[in-house]
């Protein structure tokens, strides 16, 4: 029935040639069966292998008995979370139809992402009030703390791999969500019960001079909590990828955008809660009363416990038909994914893009406090506004730009940020800002293009992710991307200006800070223009790159070595910055130990 054509020149496998089969695929008939063989359970015997037709987005709907694998066993279907769907599935990467996220069946999914956003917003928002004011740590130590709180992101790939390839009781997502929320609840409860450190200052008087030495008492639990948060995030991302790949070509990305909107709303709520709830004199504020630390941790504990209930009662998942493959074969498959041209290109692109967009002159926050009269509340409110900006950006993207060239979106967004930020930041540094409101309006306006730039490196991952390895692919690529943050934090510490110099506010200090700021924006433009071609133009282009690109061993190996070096360097510098006896080291951002 099917004519054979010569073996593929790169992979040596037999392809089937049939006009109907090719025409059923939305990408000009170009289809690589090896890349479709992507779940954790390939290689099982036919006796335990169910029909795989839904794996390939309708490719085998007309010819379910056909397989491009020759004599290789047919893999079972990639598992997906159950949900209400709609019919339009033209060009989808997997069948089943788009998910109705606003349906009752998906309430648990949406609430999970709302809670994830809340903790993503509230925990970093507490860093400056707690470590900067309550414990009175130096600014560079605060940078180190912030990097360590996100410490678990550096290990995100490991947990992503586990949720994909090590199902618990034949479930891939729900058990890990339960474990993550349970761990988060337990550790937050422990912090709530333990005695709290007295603040460094209360009502303008120093009451605990030893407070700066107590930083590790909170840093270590926060690091453990970050691991619990990651265990929640990675299965949620896996579900998001599954849902997104069920959308048709024209509408794909809408599910991801809605998810980002829900997460952004949660972030804004979390930041505003800390902003207005932690603003007494202990936290460097002016309110006569505020939430004590025990109350903050108690509220977090209750919300983490709510995550357990939501997952148990409102989340549904189809049980796996089989158990997982041996660990070695799974690792080999993941390594083949990393060797794909599109995978390592997006990793490189994402790392450098995230690095330059996260790079700020280290004096920005303390200078903001001094020049604009800002404080912890103002900083957290600005972050909340940025979270709202990300919600608006996700809406704009889903409503108007789902099929717009990703490169153009990124470059135009970069141009807007430079045009808006450089003049306002410059006149602020030289104390020529007419009103503080201009700075706030600027922060809100640039938050939208900033979010669009970040979304570009995440939207492309959906297009190149292999079914069955949803969380693994998404997790590994984003792990490399997020590794740029602690690395940039370390660089900020090395070039930080002394707090006393900032307080003097001399002309020399102003020019030094302004020059540093101008250099950073110039570096952003140069780097983005150098790497933007690594980003595919759109969905079809991403798949074409994946199908046509040859596997490469050398480049992924070099990337892996570089990532390891950057990882250990950044993490070591962050740890040294927090420890009181080593915080003076220049490597950790200090002035140098005598």
**Each residue of 303-319: pLDDT tens digit?**
999 999 999 999 988 88
Per-residue pLDDT band for 27 (boundaries 50, 70, 90) equals very low
**CA 136, CA 197: separation in Å to the nearest integer?**
12
Would the pLDDT of 494 be above 80? no
Mean pLDDT of 22-37: 37
Looking at per-residue pLDDT, the higher value among 218 and 368 belongs to 218
For the chain, the distance separating the N- and C-terminal CA atoms, rounded to the nearest angstrom, is 82
Report the percent of the chain where pLDDT is more than 90: 36
Would the pLDDT of 60 be above 50? no
Mean pLDDT of 51-78: 37
How far CA 298 is from CA of 192, 249, 301, in Å, comes to 6, 45, 5
pLDDT of the residue at 77: 45
Phi, psi (rounded to 5 degrees) for 365: -70, -50
pLDDT of the residue at 374: 63
Q: Which domains does the chain have, with CATH numbers?
A: 3-56 (no CATH), 104-328+338-588 (1.20.1250.20)
SS3 category, 202:
strand
pLDDT of the residue at 139: 66
Exposure on the CB side of residue 7, measured as CA atoms within 13 A: 7
Tens-place pLDDT, residues 325-372 = 788 888 888 888 888 888 999 999 999 999 999 887 765 666 666 666
Q: Pick the most confident of 23-37, 205-219, 316-330, 449-463.
A: 449-463
DSSP annotation of 133: I
**CA 208, CA 188: separation in Å to the nearest integer?**
25
**Structure tokens given for 521:** 């924006």
What b-and-e string marks burial along 373-398, b requiring 16 or more CB atoms within 10 Å of the CB? ebbbbbbbbbbbbbbbbbbbbbbebb
Cβ 273 vs Cβ 122: under 8 Å: yes
Q: Pick the most confident of 123-137, 303-317, 319-333, 578-592.
A: 303-317
**CA 274, CA 127: separation in Å to the nearest integer?**
10
Residue that the structure tokens 């220049």 belong to = 586
Average pLDDT, the chain: 79
Residues 6 or more apart in contact with residue 182 via CB below 8 angstroms: 308
**CA 31, CA 36: separation in Å to the nearest integer?**
8
pLDDT of the residue at 169: 87
Q: Pick the most confident of 131-135, 566-570, 582-586.
A: 131-135
pLDDT of the residue at 90: 77
Sign of CA dihedral 147, 591, 359, 375: positive
Would the pLDDT of 141 be above 90? no
Per-residue pLDDT band for 488 (boundaries 50, 70, 90) equals confident
Which region among 49-58, 233-242, 409-418, 471-480 has the lowest average model confidence (pLDDT)? 49-58
Q: pTM here? A: 0.81
Per-residue pLDDT band for 502 (boundaries 50, 70, 90) equals low
**CA 567, CA 153: separation in Å to the nearest integer?**
11
């Amino acid at each position: 029935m099917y004519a054979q054509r010569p073996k593929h020149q790169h992979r040596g496998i037999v392809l089937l040639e049939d006009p109907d089969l090719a025409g059923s695929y939305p990408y000009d008939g170009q289809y690589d069966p090896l890349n479709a063989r992507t779940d954790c359970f390939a290689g099982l015997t036919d006796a335990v292998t169910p029909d795989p037709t839904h794996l390939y987005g309708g490719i085998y709907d007309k010819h379910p008995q056909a397989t491009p694998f020759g004599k290789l066993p047919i893999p079972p279907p990639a598992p997906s979370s159950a949900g209400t769907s709609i019919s339009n599935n033209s060009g989808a990467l997997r069948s089943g139809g788009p998910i109705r996220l606003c349906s009752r069946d998906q309430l648990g999914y949406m609430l999970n992402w709302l809670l994830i956003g809340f903790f993503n917003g509230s925990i970093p928002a507490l860093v400056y009030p707690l470590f900067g004011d309550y414990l009175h740590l130096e600014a560079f130590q605060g940078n180190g703390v912030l990097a360590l709180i996100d410490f678990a992101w550096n290990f995100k790939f490991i947990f992503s791999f586990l949720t994909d390839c090590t199902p618990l009781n034949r479930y891939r997502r729900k058990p890990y969500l339960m474990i993550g929320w349970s761990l988060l609840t337990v550790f937050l409860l422990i912090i709530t019960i333990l005695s709290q450190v007295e603040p460094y200052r209360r009502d303008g008087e120093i009451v605990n001079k030893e407070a700066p030495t107590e930083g590790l008492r909170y840093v270590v639990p926060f690091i453990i909590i970050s691991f619990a948060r990651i265990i929640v995030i990675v299965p949620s991302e896996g579900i998001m990828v599954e849902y997104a790949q069920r959308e048709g070509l024209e509408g794909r990305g809408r599910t991801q955008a809605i998810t980002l909107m829900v997460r952004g709303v949660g972030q804004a709520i979390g930041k505003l809660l800390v902003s207005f709830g932690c603003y007494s004199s202990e936290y460097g504020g002016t309110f006569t009363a505020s939430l004590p630390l025990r109350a903050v941790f108690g509220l977090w504990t209750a919300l983490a416990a709510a995550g357990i209930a939501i997952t148990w009662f409102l989340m549904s998942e189809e049980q796996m038909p089989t158990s997982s493959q041996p660990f070695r074969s799974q690792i080999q498959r993941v390594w083949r994914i990393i060797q794909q041209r599109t995978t390592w290109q997006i990793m490189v692109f994402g790392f450098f893009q995230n690095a330059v967009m996260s790079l700020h002159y280290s004096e920005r926050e303390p200078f903001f406090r001094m020049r604009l009269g800002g404080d912890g509340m103002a900083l957290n409110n600005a972050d909340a506004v940025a979270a709202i900006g990300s919600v608006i950006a996700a809406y704009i993207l889903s409503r108007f730009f789902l099929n717009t060239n990703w490169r153009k979106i990124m470059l135009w967004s970069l141009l807007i940020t430079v045009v808006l930020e450089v003049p306002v930041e410059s006149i602020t540094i030289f104390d020529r800002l007419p009103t503080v409101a201009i700075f706030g309006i600027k922060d809100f306006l640039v938050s939208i293009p900033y979010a669009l730039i970040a979304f570009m490196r995440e939207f492309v991952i959906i297009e190149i992710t292999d079914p069955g390895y949803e969380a693994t692919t998404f997790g590994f690529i984003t792990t490399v991307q997020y590794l740029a943050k602690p690395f940039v934090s370390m660089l900020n510490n090395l070039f930080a200006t002394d707090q006393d110099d900032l307080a003097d506010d001399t002309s020399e200090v102003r020019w030094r800070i302004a020059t540093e700021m101008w250099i950073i924006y110039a570096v952003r433009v140069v780097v983005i223009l150098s790497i933007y071609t690594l980003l595919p133009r759109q969905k079809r282009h991403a798949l074409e790159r994946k199908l046509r690109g040859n596997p490469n061993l050398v480049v992924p190996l070099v990337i892996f070595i570089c990532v390891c070096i950057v990882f250990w360097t950044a993490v070591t510098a962050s740890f040294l910055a927090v420890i009181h006896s080593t915080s003076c080291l220049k490597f950790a951002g200090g002035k140098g130990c005598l």
